[in-house]
Amino acid sequence: MANDNKLQNIIAHCKEYGFVFQSSEIYDGLSAVYDYGQLGAELKKNIRDYWWRSMTQMQENIVGIDAAIFMHPTVWKASGHVDNFSDPMIDNKDSQKRYRVDHLIEGFAETLDTDKGEALLQQMDALLATNDFDGLKQLIENNRISCAVSNTCNWTEVRQFNLMFATEMGSLSEETNVVYLRPETAQGIFVNFLNVQKSGRMKIPFGIAQTGKAFRNEIVARGFIFRMREFEQMEMQFFVKPGTQKEWYEYWKETRMKWHLSLGISPDRYRFHDHVKLAHYADMACDIEYDFPMGFKEVEGIHSRTDFDLKNHQQFSGKKLTYFDTDINQHYIPYVVETSIGLDRTILMVLSEAYKEEDLSTEDKKDSRVVLGFPAMLAPIKLAVLPLTKKDGLPEIARELIDQCKPAFKCFYEEKDSIGKRYRRQDAIGTPFCITIDHQTKEDQTVTIRYRDSMLQERISLSSVKQLVLDKIQMFS
């Protein structure tokens, strides 16, 4: 399957089976905004839980918080987002279409030979690193990079556009205030740094984790749920003694990569990409890139943010944000190493990895299936219970099994259609285990378990089903 087709097939599959829908679809949709359907919401929750438990429950020195989306407007002045959170954009004068300059050049580079493409990207990185907007425009013109809509090279100057959404808080009769929809969850952690440190008696090094919505007015939003205007982040700020940030940066690079590999994804599907142009807050930064159907792209960022955020919040708020280190009897503003992963991008990564179209044809019969091979712990539904027929007391036995299992994990009951068709429907939504209740069950209390990946079937005792599934969906052992 060509990779272009793969993304389109995943998008169609997600809609058909209730994973992801275009937002407000009956009104022709809202660009780069998506809704999760009944199975997508389960998958999303399971991935979020796995991240949350890996980063809090499994870590002695990391705690989780849940800060509000709205924050005092000065937060974004202090964080640098009001002045710096912008991307260089360029407009095509004929089509009026606006492009992010790096996306425009990257798209063109992909059409070139590898060496030429690499050379172009290196030139682009050097110009971006020095904010040389004239140079970037020149690069676009010299390479005759044209607009996909008008096909012309009639470009405006390169300009910066801020990506934050603004709204107003308070009624019109009161003094109105501009507030921003947070573009990252991290600032909710920074402004609560001392609250958590003091109330939790935390000792450096320690971390604060958070998951939640973030909003960015992405000018060019594409790639399904890869780049959205409303999305969810899972971030962790690790507060360390100044001077130790390099070792913690390396530690978190390695630890986060291990987390990715724990999803059962092969190491060759990942690579690190060191940033050439550092964000306004960072002294070291890299991306963990995954080989999406549209190529290697960032799924997570690891950033050494120095004391930039806390120092600025101290300055703008006038409140002291230092930590007293009893080991060395000194006050200091901690340095921060951040791990920041997009939940929606992780969902796309897990879906891309799981989605398979398998040809099962034999000499006598043509056959195929679409299967989502999710890790069992992430599957939206863990167990499908299927009575062979709708009578003879089989549905009752199936319902009893579900009643026993549903407090522990998500189950699904279905009695319509042939068993083969029912298995295929469960394959298509990634259910790792199906149980068939048949007439033999009534005699010897055994059932058939059918495994999604191998399609193998075996007979096991009814009473062992719950524990078998529990063992396989365990997140940590």
Footprint on this chain of ligand GAP (rule: CB under 6 A):
184, 186, 216, 218, 227-228, 231, 233, 235, 298-301, 338, 340-342, 344-345
Q: In angstroms, what is the minimal distance from the CB of 216 to ligand GAP?
A: 5
Q: Minimal CA–CA distance to 35: which of 226, 293, 225?
A: 225
Closest to ligand GAP by CB, 180 or 231: 231
**Among candidate residues 225, 223, 97, 215, the one with its CA nearest the CA of residue 167:** 215
- C-alpha span between 451 and 243 (Å, rounded): 51
Rg (CA), the chain: 26
Nearest residue to ligand GAP, using CB?
Answer: 342
Q: How far is the CB of 131 from ligand GAP (least distance, A)?
A: 18
Cβ proximity of 179 and 73 under 8 Å: yes
| CB nearer to ligand GAP: pick between 34 and 433 | 34
Minimum distance, C-beta of residue 239 to ligand GAP, in the bound complex (Å): 15
CB of residue 236 to ligand GAP, shortest distance in Å: 10
Report the residue number, 46 or 210, with the smaller CB distance to ligand GAP.
210
- 302 beta partners: 286, 339
Cα(319)–Cα(75) distance, integer angstroms = 13
Nearer to ligand GAP, 293 or 387 (CB): 293
Task: Give the residue with the Cβ less far from ligand GAP, 108 or 215.
Answer: 215
Angstrom distances, CA of residue 22 to CA of 294, 339, 443: 20, 29, 49
240-to-27, 73, 246, 367 alpha-carbon distances in Å = 49, 27, 10, 57
Residue 226 CA from chain centroid, whole number: 8
- Rank residues 140 and 341 by Cβ distance to ligand GAP and give the closer one: 341
- Quote the least distance from Cβ 285 to ligand GAP, whole Å: 8
Angle in degrees, 0-180, between the axes of helices 343-354 and 38-52, rounded to the nearest 10: 110
Minimum distance from residue 235 beta carbon to ligand GAP (Å): 6
